[in-house]
């Protein structure tokens, strides 16, 4: 492990010699963030710069030699991690792993243990909405206990090993989407299997889904405003968590409905609070402005945080300018139809808001 870390350090030093001390590598996260901005030129410039940087690195023999050494060292570490993950884990063995292996190698073991099956099963358990909640306007206060795999069960492997396995899952593995009415209860979970484990202390990624719930059958759907406000407020419990990233997804169908503005205007005051607290909370439209079906696996996530920088009308004007720049005529026409629906729904929303304000005043 020491050799692996030393090679990693040598690679970073070599990159600084090639590009200079102030150079920052353009990773996938930076590219994705640029792609979600309303200024596509920024993404194009970053992508071109990343390709140029990669070409310079590919042409550096010293850097390529170090990368080849890193691959060999990584393969050796993987073989050790794989061997440990295939053993029948028990308390004496996990104590040995904890005392003899560094954390980086233990994390590789946890990744192999979680694999696809166990991680997907737990993700599914976290993402499920209890039936009783589907007809409720209020946030849920409690959630069922989680069933955890044996390697993360403190009864079998001890508290320290189980805690590390759980921490690895919540920080680096999970892709669960938490129902917006369950967020506070999820953050307040304090047990993982049989052991005490307050997850709000270790969460570094959280994905929330906001979708309409049918209360009275077809055509009568909406969202629980009180529950959404409570969930957004509960996120402030995580403001001290390092490297926290929160994504709030709105469903594809909501872009055609008045409830789009109901949801966004509910989020608006919290958006300013998150920004002032330096919290990375992104509001995304799942496959927004992508009305033309294709066979690709690409799902376009519309960055909606720009909505909160001005009025809804200003946001629509910005989107109109963007849509005019779409090269594909069929796609452009379809997106214009979405914008027309949004404009009509905004008028209905504003009219309803004025009516509600007048009713409350009387």
pLDDT for the residue numbered 345: 94
Report the C-alpha gap between 347 and 355 in whole angstroms.
12
pLDDT of residue 269: 95
The encoded tokens of residue 348 equal 């209905």
Q: Please count the helices (runs of H) and the strands (runs of E) in the chain.
A: 14, 9
Decide: 143 and 187 in contact? Cβ < 8 Å: no
pLDDT digits (tens, 9 = 90+) for 4-39: 667 777 888 888 888 887 777 777 767 666 665 555
Dihedral (C-alpha) 208, 253, 224, 349: value to the nearest 10 degrees? Answer: 130
Q: Report the pLDDT value the prediction gives residue 67, as an integer from 0 to 100.
A: 80
Give the per-residue pLDDT at 53.
80
For residues 70 and 4, is the Cβ–Cβ distance under 8 A? yes
Name the DSSP class of 169: I
For the chain, residues with pLDDT lower than 70 are 1-5, 29, 31-43, 73-87, 130-136, 213-222, 291-300, 362
Residue 88 DSSP code: -
pTM reported for the whole predicted model: 0.76
CA-CA distance, 184 to 283, in Å (whole number)? Answer: 18
- As beta bridge partners, residue 246 has 206, 281
Name residue 214's beta-bridge partners.
221
Phi, psi of 228, rounded to the nearest 5 degrees: -65, -45
């Amino acid at each position: 492990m020491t050799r692996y870390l030393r090679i990693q350090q040598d690679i970073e030093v070599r990159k600084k010699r090639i590009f200079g001390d102030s150079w920052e590598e353009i990773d996938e996260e930076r590219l994705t963030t640029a792609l979600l901005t309303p200024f596509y030129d920024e993404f194009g410039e970053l992508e071109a710069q990343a390709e140029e940087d990669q070409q310079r690195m590919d042409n550096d023999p010293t850097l390529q030699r170090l990368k080849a050494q890193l691959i060999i060292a990584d393969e050796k570490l993987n073989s050790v991690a794989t061997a440990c993950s295939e053993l029948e884990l028990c308390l004496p063995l996990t104590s040995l792993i904890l005392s003899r292996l560094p954390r980086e190698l233990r994390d590789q073991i946890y990744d192999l243990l979680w694999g696809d099956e166990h991680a997907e099963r737990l993700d599914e358990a976290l993402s499920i909405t209890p039936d009783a909640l589907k007809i409720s306007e209020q946030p849920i206060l409690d959630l069922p206990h989680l069933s955890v795999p044996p390697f993360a069960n403190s009864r079998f492997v001890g508290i320290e090993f189980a805690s590390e396995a759980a921490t690895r899952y919540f920080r680096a593995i999970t892709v669960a989407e938490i129902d917006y009415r369950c967020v506070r209860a999820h953050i307040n979970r304090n047990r993982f299997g049989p052991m005490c484990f307050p997850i709000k202390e270790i969460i570094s990624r959280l994905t929330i889904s906001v979708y309409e719930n049918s209360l009275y059958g077809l055509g009568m759907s909406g969202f629980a405003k009180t529950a959404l406000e409570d969930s957004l407020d509960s996120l402030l419990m995580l403001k001290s968590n390092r490297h926290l990233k929160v994504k709030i997804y709105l469903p594809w169908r909501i872009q055609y409905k008045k409830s789009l503005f109901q949801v966004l205007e509910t989020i608006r005051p919290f958006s300013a609070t998150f920004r002032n607290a330096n919290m990375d909370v992104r509001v995304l439209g799942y496959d927004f402005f992508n009305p033309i079906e294709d066979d690709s696996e690409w799902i376009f996530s519309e960055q909606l945080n720009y909505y909160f920088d001005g009025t809804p009308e200003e946001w629509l004007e910005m989107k109109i300018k963007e849509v005019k720049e779409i090269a594909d005529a069929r796609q452009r026409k379809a997106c214009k139809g979405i914008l027309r629906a949004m404009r009509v729904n905004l008028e209905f929303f504003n009219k309803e808001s004025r009516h509600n304000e007048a009713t409350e005043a009387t």
